[in-house]
């Protein structure tokens, strides 16, 4: 997700993602901490 987009979020936002390896990348995990302070959450769907 673009940092620009995350700066424009003004209300609670939930993004649902698959458990693809790219979604679990270290850069995403590090950004999640910052995004939570902006009321942006990521939810991973269960593996199937």
E runs forming strands in 1-48: 13-17, 40-44
Model confidence at 3, pLDDT cuts 50, 70, 90, reads: low
pTM given for the model: 0.65
Q: Give pLDDT, residue 33.
A: 84
Q: Name every residue whose Cβ is closer than 8 Å to that of residue 40 and which is 6 or more positions away in sequence.
A: 6, 9, 13, 15
Q: State the total domains in the chain.
A: 1
Task: Report how far residue 19's alpha carbon sits from residue 36's, in angstroms, rounded to the nearest whole number.
Answer: 19
Give the residue, 48 or 18, on which the prediction is more confident. 18
Let me know: does 41 contact 16? Beta carbons within 8 Å: no
Q: Is the pLDDT of residue 4 over 80?
A: no
- Domain residues for the domain of 24 are 3-44
Let me know: does 41 contact 15? Beta carbons within 8 Å: yes
Let me know: does 42 contact 29? Beta carbons within 8 Å: no
Q: Give pLDDT, residue 2.
A: 54
* pLDDT tens digits, one per residue of 19-46: 777 777 888 888 888 888 888 888 888 8
């Amino acid at each position: 997700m673009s940092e620009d987009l995350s700066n424009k979020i003004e209300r609670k936002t939930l993004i649902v993602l698959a458990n693809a390896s790219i979604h679990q990348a270290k850069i995403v995990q590090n950004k999640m901490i910052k995004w939570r302070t902006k009321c942006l959450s990521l939810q991973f769907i269960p593996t199937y």
